[in-house]
Structure 1
Amino acid sequence: MENIQKKLQETAAFIRHLGVGEVDFGLILGSGLGELAEEIEDAIVIPYEEIPHFPISTVVGHAGQLVYGKLSGKFVLAMQGRFHYYEGHSMQTVTYPVRVMKELGAHSMVVTNACGGVNQNFAPGDLMLITDHINYMGNNPLIGPNDENLGPRFPDMSQAYNHEYRMKAKEVAEARNLHIKEGVYVGFSGPTYETPAEIRFVRTIGGDAVGMSTVPEVIVAVHAGLKVLGISCITNLAAGMQANLNHAEVVETTERVKEEFKALVKETLAVL
């Protein structure tokens, strides 16, 4: 946590200088889902490489820029592309943008991802509201000295994913006749996809989907006092449930369901 407050102040000052004002919601848009940021009104676009203390996203399907403006009547700061632990970043670097969202005044965060379905009732293209997560990444972004100004030493993860927000999203989905799923997201470090044995293990411990992101950001969001809504796009069935796995399929599936996904997020934001 060394000097993190100074860094946050510098990053926030730079972003505000470019015209970013009030922020209600931070948005983290996962693989293939970044197109939602293009619907933000009166957008201010800031490439990551220009932002002090920001790393650069290197993953295909991630644009690598912040987009600020209005979406569904709310002021949002969207990450069009996120950072991953498997890219070699520290957990603190991966989650730094969440700290920046809080520094800029956000009270809530909507986090999205593309992930593999473990629940045998799931199919590629399903959308899943995250009810809870299991951290199987072998690390935690809060390890190390704790700055009480940023959050408590031992944050309570009992309600990491806000129940009220999830109920609102379910109501929106029902009104759209969208058969949305709910489930537990299990975070692995990657970058390998899980083995069939690991997927059997995940099913045994109560996981419904697996991915390589989200968990660190949500831990830091809870630490910072942000309310969280998590939505996963099930892009493929996990190892042992289909013939093979590849990133192209992930992007292809998100492309197929992006209109449903965008509508769900926008209409949910409108009622939050």
Structure 2
Amino acid sequence: MEQIVKKINEAASFIEARLTNTPQIGLILGSGLGDLAEEIENAVQIDYTSIPHFPTATVTGHAGRLVIGELCGQNVIAMQGRFHFYEGYTMQEVTFPVRVMKALGVSTLVVTNACGGMNPSFQPGDLMIIEDHLNVTGTNPLIGPNDDQLGVRFPDMSHAYDENLRSVAAEAAETLGFTLQNGVYAGISGPNFMTAAELVMLRRLGGDVVGMSTVPEVIVARHAGLRVLGISCITDMAIGEEIAGVSHDEVIETAAKTKPRFIALLKETLSRIK
């Protein structure tokens, strides 16, 4: 555990040496949302490959760099591309950037993703505020020795997604003229899409959408004491009884079509966060 803290501090020191302002809000930009980072002003861009102990993004559509600067009146640090458990990384490696954000001074994390919709009232292109999640990955990033410098041994996850931030996002959407869905995100390990029976199971467990990210990052963010806002883009329908199959290309295509509305929502939301 001492080695993890050392790695976090080394990565944070490397990044901090290149900054003029302290980031307050962290952004994890999911599939198709990397363009938002291009709007960050006075930006410092750092490739993941140059940061000590950072993994490397391997998924198509994930640029693989940090962009740090000012956006909508906030000092932000944005991840253009995230890491996934299915890429072969450990859960600790997947969530390492969240630890580094905390060490840099971030107090609020906004996490986004592309996901499949299991709630039959949803449709592709909908945006959903994450109210809660199901960890169906089969593991947890907090397994192993705990260091009290990073967080308590048994963190409370009963209110993982900040209620005030969810209200801010809902008000932002109303200002922009559309309504957000609300629901539970079921986080799986991937990389395969689910079978019909598995989708039926997840829906019966209470999941509204399903995806292969977000849950580990949120667990670590809450362990670190960060406020969390999660927003999902529903790129396809994953209703077990009606499933017709899906490909990653289709996910990227729908995410791209939804991108302007998603980016507008994130910018309006950021401008309102206090």
Which TM-score bucket, shorter chain as reference?
A: over 0.9
Cα distance in 2, alignment partners of residues 140 and 212 from structure 1: 14
TM-score (structure 2 length as normaliser): 0.97
1:264 equivalent to 2:265? Answer yes
Pair 1:54 & 2:54 matched: yes
1:20–1:68: 8 Å Cα contact kept in structure 2? Answer: no
Q: Within 2, Cα distance between the matches of 1:235 and 1:215?
A: 18
2: CA distance, partners of 1:20 / 1:82: 24
What is the total number of aligned residue pairs between the two structures? Answer: 272
Distance of 2:126 and 2:20 partners within structure 1: 34
Structure 1 residue 21 displacement after superposition: 2.9
Q: Please give the residue correspondences for 1:24-103 in structure 2 after superposition, counting only pairs within 5 Å.
A: 24-103=24-103
Displacement after TM superposition at 1:2 (Å): 4.0
For 1:1-272, what aligned pairs fall within 5 Å after superposition? Answer: 1-19=1-19, 21-238=21-238, 240=240, 241-272=242-273
Runs of 4+ in structure 1 off by over 4 angstroms are none
Q: 1:72, 1:269 within 8 Å by CA — same for their partners in 2?
A: yes
Alignment RMSD: 0.9
Assess, with a 3 A threshold, how the Cα gap between structure 1 residues 204 and 54 changes in structure 2: closer, same or farther. Answer: same
In 2, are the aligned partners of 1:130 and 1:231 still within 8 Å (CA)?
Answer: yes
Cα drift, residue 20 of structure 1: 5.2
Structure 2 gap ranges (5+): none
Q: Which amino acid aligns with 2:98?
A: V
Q: 1:181-216, CA deviations, whole angstroms, 9 ceiling, x for partnerless residues?
A: 000000000000011101100110110000000000
1:12–1:100 contact (8 Å) kept in structure 2: yes
Q: CA deviation at 1:251?
A: 0.7
Shift of 1:179: 1.9
TM-score of the superposed pair, with normalisation by structure 1: 0.98
> What is the CA–CA distance in structure 2 between the aligned matches of 1:92 and 1:60, rounded to whole Å?
22
The CA distance in 1 between the partners of 2:56 and 2:188, in whole Å, is 21
Cα 1:20–1:117, aligned 2, differ >3 Å: closer, same or farther?
farther
SS in 1 for 2:171: helix
- Do the aligned residues in 2 keep the contact of 1:117 with 1:236 (CA within 8 Å)? yes
- Write the letter of the residue equivalent to 1:116: G
Helix, strand or coil at the partner of 2:79: strand
